[in-house]
């Protein structure tokens, strides 16, 4: 790796780390403000907003640590490297957000059912909410812009920054929509719809959380798929196949199979290659390095070249799991 590449990598890590540090303290401020405002105003919507921010504070601490090691190569402790850490982080970050959304939906439904059964929810106190909506809305917008800027400047490779930007945007949407909803509740107090004003806060929570539950579920499944070793998107496979073809043609071998898996911000590419002749370890290493250099401009990847006639799976008559007696004679 050249000094230029090392300098570029360090610059990307600094941008990512700086964005996560600012996000960490910004989320702590918003979380504390949200919990305080929820207590003063009796608002469940604001409490959900504050809990979102507190989860974001914890996630930023963990995310910064993960981002510092995401590009580290294999070592004695982690023979496969540290790329999986980012996939682990984004999976459980999405799961925590999904859990909070489902918790908020459950609480809102219970409040509505309680009100329908004759319960009397605590009246909202609107005074503390005005300042909260303005300050937190601006803070969310600034955090979203900073994370998006850092994500763009680092080549749009960091799933950590992408997820943090999404979380900041949703936090801002919840804050803005809750503010608009609160105004609507006030305007409805002397109308025919005044009967819904006591549970207007819960209705707002239910509507907002229902709109994002599928997004967080998709993010969770995407991260889970990376950890499970699911194949990469078709466009990434096509890109890899086009890129490796010239080097394999020059090597006068046959590509028997190709697998591409995304893991965090990197890809794992396995090239099953039949050279059609005896090859040395040095030749395999040279081909592997050539393929990694060819792929570097289009996507970050760790390449493994495996000389093989069969590819990723043994034929059934050779597979020891299916044919424990061994391959047929001859």
Taking the domains of the chain in order of start, what are their residue ranges? 1-228, 234-307
* Global confidence as pTM: 0.68
Q: What pLDDT, on a 0 to 100 scale, did the predictor assign at position 3?
A: 47
Q: What pLDDT, on a 0 to 100 scale, did the predictor assign at position 121?
A: 63
Q: What pLDDT, on a 0 to 100 scale, did the predictor assign at position 240?
A: 93
Q: What pLDDT, on a 0 to 100 scale, did the predictor assign at position 142?
A: 92
Which alpha helices (DSSP H) does the chain contain, by range? 3-41, 44-69, 84-116, 127-153, 159-188, 200-228, 234-250, 281-295
234-307: CATH topology? GMP Synthetase; Chain A, domain 3 (3.30.300)
Q: Residue 11, Cβ neighbours under 10 Å: how many?
A: 12
Q: What pLDDT, on a 0 to 100 scale, did the predictor assign at position 238?
A: 93
Q: Which of 63, 84, 89, 60 is nearest to 73 (CA)?
A: 84
The residues near 221 (Cβ < 8 Å, ≥ 6 apart) are: none
CA distance 174 to 46: 9
Which residues of the chain are under the pLDDT cut of 70?
1-9, 45, 70-71, 73, 119-124, 126-127, 177, 181, 185, 201, 324-330
Q: What is the CATH number of domain 1-228?
A: 1.20.1510
């Amino acid at each position: 790796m050249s000094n230029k590449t090392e300098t570029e990598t360090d610059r990307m890590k600094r941008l990512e780390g700086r964005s996560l540090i600012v996000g960490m303290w910004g989320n702590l401020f918003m979380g504390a403000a949200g919990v305080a405002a929820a207590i003063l105003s009796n608002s469940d919507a604001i409490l959900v907003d504050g809990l979102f921010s507190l989860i974001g504070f914890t996630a930023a601490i963990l995310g910064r640590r993960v981002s510092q090691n995401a590009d580290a190569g294999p070592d004695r402790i982690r023979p496969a490297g540290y790329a999986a850490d980012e996939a682990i982080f984004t999976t459980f970050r999405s799961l925590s957000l999904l859990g909070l959304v489902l918790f908020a939906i459950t609480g809102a439904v219970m409040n509505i059912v309680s009100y329908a059964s004759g319960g009397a929810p605590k009246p909202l106190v609107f005074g503390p909410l005005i300042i909260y909506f303005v300050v937190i809305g601006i803070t969310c917008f600034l955090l979203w812009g900073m994370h998006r800027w850092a994500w763009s400047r680092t080549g749009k490779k960091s799933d950590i920054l992408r997820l943090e930007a999404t979380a900041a945007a949703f936090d801002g949407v919840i804050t803005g929509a809750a503010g608009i909803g609160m105004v609507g509740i006030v305007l409805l107090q002397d109308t025919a719809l005044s009967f819904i004003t006591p549970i207007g806060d819960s209705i707002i929570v239910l509507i907002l959380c229902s709109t994002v539950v599928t997004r967080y579920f998709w993010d969770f499944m995407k991260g889970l798929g990376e950890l499970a070793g699911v194949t990469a998107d078709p466009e990434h496979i096509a890109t890899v196949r086009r890129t490796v073809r010239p080097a394999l043609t020059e090597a006068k071998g046959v590509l028997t199979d190709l697998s591409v898996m995304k893991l965090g911000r990197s890809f794992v590419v396995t090239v099953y290659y039949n050279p059609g002749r005896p090859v040395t370890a040095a030749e395999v290493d040279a081909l592997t390095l050539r393929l990694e250099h060819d792929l570097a401009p289009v996507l970050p990847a760790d390449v493994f070249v495996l000389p093989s006639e069969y590819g990723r799976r043994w034929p059934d008559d050779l597979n020891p799991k299916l044919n424990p007696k061994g391959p047929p004679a001859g």
